[in-house]
Amino acid sequence: MTRGDKYLLAGLLLLSLVSFAALYSRFSPFSGSTKVTQAVISLQGNVIRKISLPLTGRSSFTVQGLVGSSTVEVEGERVRMQEAPCAGRICVNQGWIRHPGQSIACVPGEILIRIEGTTPLDGVTR
């Protein structure tokens, strides 16, 4: 083996190690621990806004749903539907959510607020 061969080998070894590391970290959807908690707001199945939690202070914004405009409020680590244009207001009555896996749905407006992140919970029955 010449000196060049050794460099080549070392290079290939390094490359394969790096590719392993890359495959198992970046592309692994279940590495989980790097995932931050965020509130994901979607309209008719399309994500329209993501907010990293906790938020310093509070923030509210409107979402134009199918039946009118709804107001989403984020405060610290929790989120709620503050205002809704519908009569039932099930989403508003649901109050605050904060744990990953929890969600609030405005059915007539087709608006969904979900908290995503690392969690011991896969879902919540309610």
Partner 1 sequence: MTRRTILPIAALLLIGGLALFQYSRRLQEYRSDQFLMDTLISITVYGKNQELLRKAVAAAYAEMRRIAELADGFPQPGTAAWRNSDICRINDQAGKAPVHVDNDTVAMLLLAQKYTRLSNGAFDVTVGPLMELWGFGGKNPHLPSPEQISEALKLVSSEDVIVNEQDRTVFLRRTGMKLDLGAVAKGYATEKAARILVQHGIDKALIDAGGNIRVIGRNSRNSPWQIGIKDPRKSDAIVAILPLVDTSAVTSADYYRAFEEQGKRYHHILNPRTGYPATHTISTTVITKDAGLADILSTVFFVLPADKSLELAATIPGVELFLVTADRLIRHSATLPGTIEVLKGETYRYDQR
How many of the chain's residues bind partner 1 (CB under 8 A)?
45
The DSSP secondary-structure symbol of 1 reads -
| Binding flag, residue 54, partner 1 (CB under 8 A) | no
Among 29, 34, 56, 57, binds partner 1 (CB under 8 A): 29
| Binding flag, residue 33, partner 1 (CB under 8 A) | no
**How far is Cα 22 from Cα 109, in angstroms, rounded to an integer?**
41
Spell out the SS3 assignment of 14-44. HHHHHHHHHHHHCCCCCCCCCCCCEEEEEEC
Contact residues toward partner 1 (CB under 8 A) are 1, 5, 8-9, 12-13, 15-16, 19-20, 23, 27-30, 32, 42, 45, 78, 80, 87-88, 90, 93-99, 101-103, 105, 107, 110, 112, 119-126
